[in-house]
Amino acid sequence: MKSLRFPRSPKVIVGLVVLGFFIFLMIFGPYLAPYSPDNTSFAPLLTPSAHHWFGTTSLGQDIFSQTLVGARATMVVAGVAGLAATMLSILIGISAGYIGGFTDDGLSLMSNVFLALPGLPLLIVIDSYLPVNSRSNSLIIGLIISLTGWAWGARVLRAQTMSLRNRDFVESARIIGEKRMRIMFTEVAPNLLPILASSLLFTILYSIGAYVTLAYIGLTSTSVWNWGTMLFWAQSNNAPLSGEWYWFVPPGICIALVGTSLALLNFGIDEFINPRLRAGGLSGRQRRRLGMPRRQRLGLTPVVRSVTTAPRISVQTQNPVTP
Amino acid sequence: MRLVGRRLALYALTFWVAITVNFLLPHLMPGNPIQTMIGKLTGTVTPAEIRSIRLAFGGGVDKSLLSQYFTYIGQLLHGNLGFSFTNSASVSSILRQYVPWTICLIGVATIISFLIGTVSGALLGWTRGSRLDSLIPTATFFQATPYFFLATVMLLVFASNLHWFPPLDGYNISSVHPGWTWAFVFSALRYGQLPLISIVLSSVAGWMLGMRNMMITMVAEDFVLMSIAMGLPKRKVIWAAARNAVLPSIANLSLAIGLVVSGALLVELVFNYPGVGDLLLNAISSEDYPLIQGIFLIITLAVLAANLLADLVYLLLDPRTRTEVAP
């Protein structure tokens, strides 16, 4: 496969930088934290200062340390859940779209049922029955979240697989006599890459929300620090009403930033799949510089023509072969 | 009306799956949660109430799983969702008290945010490339923020600092009593504003971005160019394009409604709003399993009903679905 030309728009760059920062925190956060997140030896409810960047909780724990340590659990669970759900959706979506017939009917019905079921309440019911020691296990929580998050991806992948199923290159693979599994995963799947990536980002986004929500309502073990448990403690100590903003704003902003970075990357993928969306990303100044009309004319998709691609006759191209 | 029939069958099946999951979970989970719960309760509630809890889970442990399953479904058909021991009342009577609050709040919020989001998304898509596009990163940020976090911030800023809105509860619990009096209705409307605004703010971005993308694709269609060329007023052209662009967004409601409702339930929790979300949290913290399960079933039922409603709207808007040709 040729290297893909991923749009290098500001959105994608900002998304990559922010996501990269949080992946860095996921790996190194616990080592960078100045104190233990459980250390209760400080004065309670200190406002942010040089010693405690984000202040302290009512138990005297350092909020900055909690935020850094919490990055790992939050991101790992979201990643596990996102990956597992995407695997499920690949397996179910591609099989349904490629095999067709009764298999398709059955699998589509299953994904439609899972789409219609409200995911979060289902998660809450499952999680409330989990024994307490399983609630602290990131892997188990991640896998349960993935059970409620695969259906959308499966539906999108199925639709795209169906449109690829009868293309010539798939037909020829079939005529050569390649096995069905091989066609599905080496011929069809690579062509679904942009959609797959978009579905992965979307699922990770969902998983972060689901995990943080479960933690926020007290359904994950409180011995594991994540951004949701921080919000749980802030809420149960009435921090928003007593004006202790520094307690719940840092974890909330972190969640929102990770989510935004994923959504921005998704924009990039959308623009890659549907170039019409791309020109929308130019600012007014960029448009003027490129000589584009400020308002777009209907029925026309503006194309950015950079100077280097303008036709220019050069001697080199006229005589490509030198004797 | 084949479409409606098919969707109805799908939703019936989904509800059956929800019921079955609800039944199987406590029976299959390690550690036998029902037995543990009843063991803890013995002495605090009457034997008759324990019998009622057992019955709602399908009867005694001595019977086979299948016969317990049928007992469970029989109980559900009679409207018996079990007995909530923390509230010393039957689950269905508690739900009757809390559900109207939630349906009003989340229903109104969803309709408002869908309308605002769709209209603004259509305009954003139409004026693509204009200054309005700078709204998109902000909208993305709001979309990525958990509902309950935004609600918490709103509570801090607008209720406890600026005092524009009353902070907690669904009505003024110290001065009015629930009932159909003007004082109560006004109080409920006043207390509902902030939760409503925060749900709308959290959910509007999703509708807006989806609609914008569809609108951009639609504006490039030939019929739009044609209507401009025919000299139709701009208002009419936008309307025609928007009408076509909104269809996929209505068709995708089934995914969105579940997400919006899930998020909005937690907003109730932040504002201590007397709805199902707040009830659910209390049920979780006291491990009141019959209540948790009853809430799950009622939420599922409400979401499925909303989905069916969306399907009917879709049918109304898209004449192609009304022909009797299978798609």
Pairing between strand B89-90 and B83-84?
antiparallel
pLDDT in tens, B58-75: 666 567 777 788 877 877
Inter-chain CB proximity A270 and B213 less than 8 Å: yes
pLDDT in tens, A123-155: 888 888 887 777 777 788 888 888 888 888 888
**Is residue B287 left, alpha or beta, with left meaning phi > 0 and alpha meaning psi from -120 to 50?**
left
Inter-chain CB proximity B216 and A252 less than 8 Å: no
DSSP string, A112-137: HHHHHS-HHHHHHHHHHHS-HHHHT-
**More confident position, B42 or A121:** A121
Q: Which of A161-175, A204-218, A278-292 has the lowest mean pLDDT?
A: A278-292
Inter-chain CB proximity A128 and B292 less than 8 Å: yes
Q: How far is B180 from chain A (nearest CA, A)?
A: 30
pTM of the model as a whole:
0.82
Inter-chain CB proximity A117 and B270 less than 8 Å: no
pLDDT in tens, A301-317: 555 555 444 444 444 43
**More confident position, B242 or B193:** B242
Please report the residues numbered 220 through 279 in chain B whose beta carbons come closer than 8 angstroms to any beta carbon of chain A: 220, 222, 224-225, 228, 254-255, 258-259, 261-263, 265-266, 269-270
CB–CB contacts below 8 A, A to B = 190
Inter-chain CB proximity B140 and A243 less than 8 Å: no
Inter-chain CB proximity A128 and B129 less than 8 Å: no
Q: Cα separation of A195 and A163, whole Å?
A: 13
Residues of chain B positioned with their CB less than 8 A from the CB of A259 = 143-145
Please report the residues numbered 120 through 159 in chain B whose beta carbons come closer than 8 angstroms to any beta carbon of chain A: 127-131, 133, 137, 140-141, 143-146, 148-149, 152-153, 155-156, 159
DSSP string, A200-240: HHHHHHHHHHHHHHHHHTT-S-TTS--HHHHHHHHHHTTTT
Q: Which of A58-72, B17-31, B55-69, B258-272 has the lowest mean pLDDT?
A: B55-69
Inter-chain CB proximity A274 and B217 less than 8 Å: yes
Q: How far is B302 from chain A (nearest CA, A)?
A: 10
- The model's confidence at residue A85, banded by pLDDT at 50, 70 and 90, is very high
Instruction: Give kind and range of the element (H or E) at residue B40.
Output: helix B33-41
Residue ranges of the alpha helices (H) in A53-192? 63-99, 101-116, 119-129, 132-135, 138-149, 151-164, 168-176, 180-182
Please report the residues numbered 180 through 209 in chain B whose beta carbons come closer than 8 angstroms to any beta carbon of chain A: none
Residues of chain A positioned with their CB less than 8 A from the CB of B137 = 11, 260, 264
Reported as half-sphere exposure (CB side, CA atoms, 13 A), residue A168 has a value of 0
Residues of chain B positioned with their CB less than 8 A from the CB of A255 = 144-146, 149
The beta-carbon neighbor of A243 closest among B156, B220, B280 is B156
